[in-house]
Structure 1
């Protein structure tokens, strides 16, 4: 058994490592935008912070929707259905183009949300301008997401990594150019960051599109040699898998956002410490998140081949790897909290509070790794509806209520909300892992949820 696990790990890592680096690169671009805006002006920093808080839910929704292409493509690859793979690559591009006007319409009306939130007029104007500027890159971003998850299903994560990592220098250069102006471009401040983001998204899309068109290993798929439109049954399957995943991601993101909003009522030192601890935990989370995408592809591939033994092995190996790495992350947070927090601040009060919150972050590293990797394995067998209900229960009937009661009724404040996060993520981990154990033990014809 050890030899089989070792062999599966050797196949999993070349898919997982580029996926992890891609996630880190995308996160780095967000950090770069924030840091550069902060150096420009306080208003620019506030506008970017508020603008991204409205932009992220839109991005998360479409990321969840297009994530359906990973297991679908992996299944077809396992079944050696070349025609179906090529058709779904085209379907991804078509759906991205079809959904772009919806995403654009949402962003063009963001000012009404800012008004309802009572954002200061000068900051709201900048945030609105930033969001309106990102509209130009939205078609490119959605096509990139469609191609990204199609390529993940084909185990082509190095191409995705290249398109994201190589975009970072351009992100920095375009930010500086459009923020401060020059060479025929007026100084635009925070709004310039939006235009820079649009350009970077478009570059990422073009890079991955060129790879998809010209890579020799896709020649037999004849992706761009046919113009036939997809059938409703193919569209329906993508939506059936993708919509629950979009909602699932929304449940987790909104729980963390709600916790941040509640903690924002506390002294600024507590809020600052919370943001630092969340940022460190988010960086750590990119590792199991990248592994989960590789798990989906590997599990989907063997499920498509109708090989239950290999399907189980791929799922359990990936979950075990993710859990093992979370132990390293947790140990680092427990042993070196002040070193990690020291990269963000030198304020002693914030240092103390953030270091104490990192202890809670260390505790939920294992739960977070288990829940996201189990969810990845379940996606591989096209199980997305039940996980959606599991996360709804875990985060909103357990996690947030527990945090609220401890923080507001028992005086735990920020620590109470972090204990709530532990409760929510741990509940999700137990239920999702149990769901995977049950499904993976079924017969080949019953394992895949249809």
Structure 2
């Protein structure tokens, strides 16, 4: 990997990535806000949020992954200047996302009553069940937002979603403060207040993102190319499902592994589950930042591939790898330095804080692996290579990581530390395999003459 060859791709990738990073952080900062504020009410509500997020995330990421199939197709069509296809992708993509939001939300509502069968502490289940139901209702507006967002990002328009995510998070924080603690004349709803705040914020995000895409002057040609919003183009729908569903399945395998790890930790007790929620919440912030770089990799690789520049697509992917490595290495060092300080923002129970600090040390260890695996997924999506990564995720997380975590956590009595060590191995395996896969799948025999001349 030549730094000289990568240098032209670093700035364009950064310019695309930083708005996506802030936008992606919007998803996770909702949970951060919920966890921080709910944690002030006690460790049992914090443990209930952990259980609720774990269950909701497994369903949510299936929809998010489905929507991510829009971006590489839009990037490729934009590279070919195919306005009619872009119009079909806009209407069909939003239609598919809205339908997915309805189906997944309904499925989630059926899952909520089953929480009691997960062998979690009874007081945790009692608080988590109604909280999860409201959160599942918010999947419809979230998926509509995703449909418009992924289309705009495929065109390289990444700042608008960033602005909306920042606005929605400010509103969510204000509503959480109001509803959880009962300020400004509102009733004190406790942890349920955070669920209602999330629902309202996501409805606002969907309305504003849709209004931007449908009214933006630059997007007018694509909007005029849309024939019908009620009858999606069948060929485009098949392509979106064919590309997006493996992404969703891969994300479900990955996030499902983390969610099941939370369930296993819940078998240890509410204290261990609260500590897990703190550590995973902090680690998810850096992960979503890396996923922004991955989204930029999808756009850059997909666009360059669309114009027939295979060598440029490869270098763009490798440039994203380099950026993720540098960023996540820095975040790992930061987590090591602040691991005893950060947990106090969530909860003041000494046992919870001590356990969370230990888990943050493991989180620091898997930062690089986490960043490289998500960028690998993004770069491969730009190549429309999505099926093999799903198989890799299934084997690494569910055949290796979780059984190992269970063996260490309960066989060797290491508790939540053992479960996290299993996750560390799973992330490392996925990162290594996907890097190899991208290098093989993007290989070109000879670089362009201009690149050869620069050497």
Matched, 1:362 2:375: no
Say if 1:395 and 1:49 are closer, same or farther in 2 by CA, change over 3 A. closer
Looking at structure 1, the residues matched to 282 and 119 of structure 2 have their Cα atoms a distance apart, in angstroms, of 30
Whether the aligned pair in 2 keeps the contact of 1:111 and 1:124 (CA below 8 Å) is: no
Looking at structure 2, the residues matched to 268 and 136 of structure 1 have their Cα atoms a distance apart, in angstroms, of 26
Matched, 1:263 2:265: yes
Matched, 1:67 2:68: yes
Moved more, 208-217 or 157-166: 208-217
Deviations 1:22-65 (A, max 9, x none): 22222222222234445567776565444433322221110011
1:199 Cα deviation after fit: 1.8
> 2:394 maps to what in 1?
392
Looking at structure 2, the residues matched to 120 and 264 of structure 1 have their Cα atoms a distance apart, in angstroms, of 7
Q: What is the TM-score with the length of structure 1 in the denominator?
A: 0.88
> 2:451 maps to what in 1?
none
1:113 Cα deviation after fit: 1.4
1:150 Cα deviation after fit: 1.3
Say if 1:46 and 1:244 are closer, same or farther in 2 by CA, change over 3 A. same
> 1:440 maps to what in 2?
442
1:413 Cα deviation after fit: 3.5
| Equivalent pairs, count | 444
Moved more, 340-349 or 402-411: 340-349
Moved more, 221-230 or 427-436: 221-230
Looking at structure 2, the residues matched to 301 and 162 of structure 1 have their Cα atoms a distance apart, in angstroms, of 24
Matched, 1:15 2:2: no
Superposed counterparts of 1:141-290, under 5 Å = 141-178=142-179, 188-223=189-224, 226-227=227-228, 229-266=231-268, 269-290=271-292
Say if 1:53 and 1:275 are closer, same or farther in 2 by CA, change over 3 A. closer
Moved more, 106-115 or 307-316: 106-115
Whether the aligned pair in 1 keeps the contact of 2:347 and 2:353 (CA below 8 Å) is: yes
1:276 Cα deviation after fit: 2.9
Say if 1:349 and 1:174 are closer, same or farther in 2 by CA, change over 3 A. closer
> 1:427 maps to what in 2?
429
> 1:30 maps to what in 2?
31
1:402 Cα deviation after fit: 2.3
> 2:104 maps to what in 1?
103
1:320 aligned residue (315, 322, 325): 322
Deviations 1:345-382 (A, max 9, x none): 55555554443333322221111111111111001011
Looking at structure 2, the residues matched to 437 and 123 of structure 1 have their Cα atoms a distance apart, in angstroms, of 46
Deviations 1:88-127 (A, max 9, x none): 0111121123234313322433443134347788876764
Looking at structure 2, the residues matched to 425 and 111 of structure 1 have their Cα atoms a distance apart, in angstroms, of 28
Superposed counterparts of 1:47-66, under 5 Å = 48-66=49-67
Whether the aligned pair in 2 keeps the contact of 1:58 and 1:103 (CA below 8 Å) is: yes
Looking at structure 1, the residues matched to 363 and 124 of structure 2 have their Cα atoms a distance apart, in angstroms, of 32
Looking at structure 1, the residues matched to 226 and 376 of structure 2 have their Cα atoms a distance apart, in angstroms, of 37
Say if 1:19 and 1:413 are closer, same or farther in 2 by CA, change over 3 A. same
> 1:447 maps to what in 2?
none
Looking at structure 2, the residues matched to 198 and 365 of structure 1 have their Cα atoms a distance apart, in angstroms, of 30
Looking at structure 1, the residues matched to 31 and 365 of structure 2 have their Cα atoms a distance apart, in angstroms, of 26
Superposed counterparts of 1:310-349, under 5 Å = 310-344=312-346, 349=351
2:376 aligned residue (374, 394, 398): 374
Looking at structure 1, the residues matched to 244 and 201 of structure 2 have their Cα atoms a distance apart, in angstroms, of 25
Whether the aligned pair in 2 keeps the contact of 1:179 and 1:193 (CA below 8 Å) is: yes
Whether the aligned pair in 1 keeps the contact of 2:101 and 2:142 (CA below 8 Å) is: no
Matched, 1:299 2:334: no
Q: What is the TM-score with the length of structure 2 in the denominator?
A: 0.87
Say if 1:361 and 1:33 are closer, same or farther in 2 by CA, change over 3 A. closer
Whether the aligned pair in 1 keeps the contact of 2:179 and 2:189 (CA below 8 Å) is: yes
Whether the aligned pair in 2 keeps the contact of 1:303 and 1:381 (CA below 8 Å) is: yes
Moved more, 423-432 or 1-10: 1-10
Moved more, 179-188 or 404-413: 179-188
1:175 Cα deviation after fit: 3.5
